[in-house]
Amino acid sequence: MQRIGVFVCHCGSNIAATVDVKKVVELVRYEPGVVFADDYMYMCSEAGQEKIIEAIKENKLTGLVICSCSPRMHEKTFRACAEKAGLNPYMVEIANIREQCSWIHKDREEATEKAVILARAAIAKVNLNTPLQEGESPVIKRALVIGGGIAGIQTALDIADAGYPVDIVEREPSIGGRMSQFDKTFPTLDCASCILTPKMVEVNQHPNITLYTYSEVEGVSGYVGNFEVQIKKKARSVDMAACTGCGECQAKCPLGKMGKIPSEFDRGLKNRPAIYMPFAQAVPAVPVIDRENCTYFKTGKCGVCAKICPSKAINYEQEDEIVTEKYGAIVVATGFDIINLDKYGEYAYNESPDVITSIELERLMNAAGPTGGHLERMSDHKQPKDIVFIQCVGSRCDDEKGKPYCSKVCCMYTAKHAMLIKDHWPDTNVTVFYIDVRTPGKNFDEFYRRAVEQYHVNYIKGQVGKVIPQPDGSLMVQGVDLLDNKQIMKKTDMVVLAAAIEPNKGVRKIATMLTASIDNNDFLTEAHAKLRPVESPTAGIFLSGMAQGPKDIPETVSQAGAAAVKVVGLLAKDKLKTNPCTAKCDPMFCNGCSTCANVCPYGAITYEDQLVRGPGVNETRRVAIVNIALCQGCGACTTACPSGAMDLQGFSNRQITTEVDAICQ
């Protein structure tokens, strides 16, 4: 018989305001097995834990029930506390009377009654708990970073500097990501490539970093400390070792002059050859052949690049290659893109070349961009004298077209764009239509105010209804000034749309492979929104950058560093404790039918011939064996098992049944 102690937490007034904790203590005191019951203001506090330890020692407790917040919050805390007092940590059960009781019910009597029932269920379960021992599994001391933008780069550098090998997998031919497309960065206006390029070079030269560019993650298996990942290195058609990056090939590619392939890097504002480096500072400085467009791959004729390459690096025969590597931790830094604007026909983005997105404007203002940094209209290559910015295109929407969240960076980059334009071409009129200007961040509001006060950028509160291309090539912007209560018809030369940010399209596939959860907007979810912001709920998976939610560069770099620290903390361990709540087979009932192995997602079940001895049985037969290093404790096998031989420790059939009984009294 267990000797159970029940501890009811007030959680300040979080629980006590709705649940009569004293009454709970009185009512559970006489439950079977309970020898001690008490309440306290904050059970999770130092003093609260001391109280528990004392009670365990004084009353020789063998099991604990803590009636408190969600086990997802403090189960670990109380298990550690039990362990301190010499009790097996798996003899602790939590009755969730905060999130699932006091916070959602208003009626005190009702909530108290429910709290008692939840406590009873936990007590009933502890009565059947058995001490469980955590296993151990080794940690592979190597990390994988998916995505080579500023987030991935920073995470990889920090891990590598701590002394652990890191691999970066980047889908594009070069690392650098979105930031490499930008011109200047807010709020200090330093040049994006000036601060990014050195980091890219450092990544390339770091002895602890291996780069897989033009590569994608194809498959992931394993678990924290022990992932096995397949990486597909797409055929570059260029021998990386031989290529010197001289650029002859892309200069001579006949398709370069024909201007048929829009450059992805320049967002279609410029064309590129079929063999290309996305931009001059690409890392690695090795071009790729875009096989879908290359004449040689389409018709078998051409071969100019192979002929002129001085180092004979072109290899048309190269094939995709799959590399398999093992990692202890994986960081997802897949970044973002902006939404497709096809559904926003009212802004004439598809009709007029002079309606552009902010990223296109970055390229247009970038000295290395398609116009050499000269701001011009794509229709007639004239410098615009009047520019209108439209904010929140697809952000903060509650319809089918847009995104419900604030994209967070648009207010600041628009202020940046406005100031840079005014700086270079002071006689340009700049107007910004905004709903709200959101500038939380160090020196951010000052930055925005500078745009208004020093540069006289015209900020109009109100949204634009329609952008109307005019026969003379200008654009008429029909919007509203909500503060003046006037409809505005404004003639302009160029319109820049702050399109909503969305997670990179590939993230869904990657999240599925990693069993990392994503939210309704496809952003990766954190293990805890406040307390574990750079970890995925799936152990061993970490989050860095925009993949987790909209954020600017300073925030991304901080998060990237935080993710790196978490990874290093994991890799620094030689062994990890494994979840002891694993499946266990009772050979007495097992007939080796293989049903369990078929449903096990981890391949943790094997079979062996065993001598089974029991009442009326004495034979050697095939029975299931669970590999506890692989078993993750999902319990699929226990439900599938036709003979009831398979059970899950910590969530056994008897334990759950007794919980059902306790609730249905």
Partner 1 sequence: MTKQEIEKNVELIKEISGCDPYKCMRCGKCSGSCPSFNEMDIKPHQFASYIINGNVEELVSSKSLWKCLSCFACIERCPRNVEPGKLIDAARQLVERERGGDHLQAEDIPELLNEDVPQQLLVSAYRRYRR
Partner 2 sequence: MKYSYYPGCTLKNKAQDLDRYARLSAAALGFELEEIPEWQCCGGVYPLGTDEIATKLSSVRALNHAKEQGQDLITLCTACHHVLKRVNDDMKNNEDISTRANNYMQLDEPYKGETSVKHFLEVLRDEIGFDELKSKVVKPLEGKKIGAYYGCLVLRPGKILEFDDPENPKIMEDFIRALGGEPVIYPYRNECCGAYTSLKDGGISQERTKLIFDSSSGFGADMLITACPLCMYNLNKSEADSKVPVYYFTELLAEALGVKEGE
Partner 3 sequence: MSVNENGEFRPLIVAFCCNWCSYAGADLAGSSRLSYPADVKIIRVPCSGRVNPMFILRAFERGADGVIICGCHPGDCHYSTGNYYARRRMTLLFSMLDYIGVENGRTRVEWCSAAEGAKFSKTMNEFCEKIASLGKNVRLGDLRCKD
Contacting residues toward partner 1, per CB under 8 A: 346, 392, 396-399, 401-402, 435, 461-466, 478-480, 482, 485, 487-488
Binding stretches for partner 3 (CB under 8 A): 70-73, 96, 98-101, 103-107, 110-111, 113-114, 117-118, 121, 512, 515, 517-520, 525, 537-538, 581, 599, 601, 632-636, 638-640, 648, 651, 653, 656-657, 659-661, 663-665
Residue type, 169: V
Return the number of the residue (412 or 581) whose C-beta is nearest partner 3: 581
Return the number of the residue (344 or 448) whose C-beta is nearest partner 2: 344
- Nearest-angstrom CA–CA distance, 352 and 476: 12
> b/e for 623-639, b at 16 or more Cβ within 10 A?
bbbbebebbbbbbbbbe
User: From residue 523, how far is each of 333, 505, 598 by CA, in Å?
Assistant: 11, 10, 32
Task: Give the residue, chosen from 346, 446, 608, 661, that forms a contact with partner 2 under the rule CB under 8 A.
Answer: 346
Which range, of 32-40, 275-283, 342-350, 532-540, touches partner 2 by CB under 8 A? 342-350
Classified as helix, coil or strand, 368 is coil
Q: Report what 581 binds from partner 3, partner 1, partner 2, none; CB cut-off 5-8 Å by kind.
A: partner 3
Half-sphere exposure of 289 (CA within 13 A, CB side): 28
Return the number of the residue (450 or 461) whose C-beta is nearest partner 1: 461
**Which residues between 380 and 419 bind partner 2 (CB under 8 A)?**
400
Return the number of the residue (122 or 387) whose C-beta is nearest partner 1: 387
Return the number of the residue (456 or 654) whose C-beta is nearest partner 3: 654
Task: Give the residue, chosen from 86, 207, 426, 471, that forms a contact with partner 2 under the rule CB under 8 A.
Answer: 471
Return the number of the residue (162 or 488) whose C-beta is nearest partner 2: 488
Asked if 351 is part of the footprint of partner 2 (rule: CB under 8 A), the reply reads yes
Return the number of the residue (465 or 554) whose C-beta is nearest partner 2: 465
Size of the site for partner 2 (CB under 8 A): 15
Q: Report what 635 binds from partner 1, partner 2, partner 3, none; CB cut-off 5-8 Å by kind.
A: partner 3
Residue 211 CB burial class (10 angstroms; 0-12, 13-18, ≥19): buried
Classified as helix, coil or strand, 98 is helix
CB of 611 to partner 3, least distance (A): 29
- Nearest-angstrom CA–CA distance, 558 and 164: 20
Asked if 424 is part of the footprint of partner 2 (rule: CB under 8 A), the reply reads no
Contact 511, 519 (CB under 8 A): no
Return the number of the residue (475 or 597) whose C-beta is nearest partner 3: 597
Task: Give the residue, chosen from 247, 353, 373, 469, that forms a contact with partner 2 under the rule CB under 8 A.
Answer: 469
CB of 111 to partner 3, least distance (A): 6
Classified as helix, coil or strand, 406 is coil
How many other CB atoms are found less than 10 A from the CB of residue 166? Answer: 29
Q: Where are the beta strands (DSSP E) in 422-557?
A: 429-434, 458-461, 464-469, 475-481, 486-492, 494-499, 501-503, 541-543
Classified as helix, coil or strand, 338 is strand
How many other CB atoms are found less than 10 A from the CB of residue 525? Answer: 18
Return the number of the residue (307 or 486) whose C-beta is nearest partner 1: 486
Residue in 261, 234, 235, 242 with CA at minimum distance from that of residue 250: 261
Q: Report what 348 binds from partner 3, partner 2, partner 1, none; CB cut-off 5-8 Å by kind.
A: partner 2
Which DSSP state fits 179? G
Contact residues toward partner 2 (CB under 8 A) are 342-346, 348, 350-351, 400, 466, 468-472
